[in-house]
Amino acid sequence: MIEALIFDFDGVILETETPDFASWQEIFAEHGCALPRADWCAAIGLGATAMPFSPYDLLETQVGRRVDRDAVRERRHRRYLELVAAENIMAGVETLIADAHRAGLKLGVASSSDRAWVRGHLERLGLMDHFTTIKTADDVKRTKPHPDLYLAATEALGVRPDTALALEDSANGVTAARRAGLYCVAIPNAMTRELALDHADLRLISLTEMSLREILSVLETQRR
């Protein structure tokens, strides 16, 4: 029986994945270069410190010279924040949270992003008070795809991993949840729709596709 829902943050609660990629795309385009979408998407969910490649290194390799990394970093980050600020809570999130409260389920967040980023946006969106625990990269030694974040979140919520459901948008996030022993529903966004998410228990187009009751019913049937 499911006792808790644990949300990923980036790409599940707030669409930050597309703005992140778009802001880097603009930088590469300004230098007459292109950022491979496939390489970027494969790294989604890992967290900034675990990126398998450096956009700065890739940019310098393509232009054939060193770039002013400080200037690129400042411009890229400013543009990223502008794009994210224009985003609202992703479809279905608020309804799912309300349904979870009515069902008596505990709520948490497990994100590979840093604490200030996640908490700052949850406050801005008016969602902070809904979550009993928020675990981020600042709370564990290893981020996704390792299970540490989900194990920390379930421990803080006082539930066994096999009684918790993770909501994820990336292959790395699904891997982390499954390694921790949680059920997992994948809700890919515009950046992750082409990734292999077959290791999730259920894949939805968006959180508006099924009600919480329907999701739980499907999962319970699958695990019998």
List the structure tokens of 11.
């790409």
Strands 183-186 and 202-203: parallel
Burial class (CB in 10 A: 0-12, 13-18, 19+), 162: middle
**CB-based contact 169:179 (threshold 8 Å):** no
| CA within 13 Å, CB half, 42 | 7
Give me the catalytic one of 10, 139, 148, 169: 10
Report the candidate in 46, 77, 73 with the shortest Cα–Cα distance to residue 59: 73
Strand partners, 203: 186
User: Catalytic: 139?
Assistant: no
DSSP one-letter string for 61-114: HHHTS---HHHHHHHHHHHHHHHHHT--BPTTHHHHHHHHHHTT-EEEEE-SS-
d(CA 81, CA 60): 24
Give me the catalytic one of 8, 20, 139, 169: 8
Phi-psi region of 138 (alpha: psi -120 to 50; beta: other; left: phi over 0): alpha
Classified as helix, coil or strand, 52 is coil
User: Catalytic: 10?
Assistant: yes
| Active site residue ranges | 8, 10
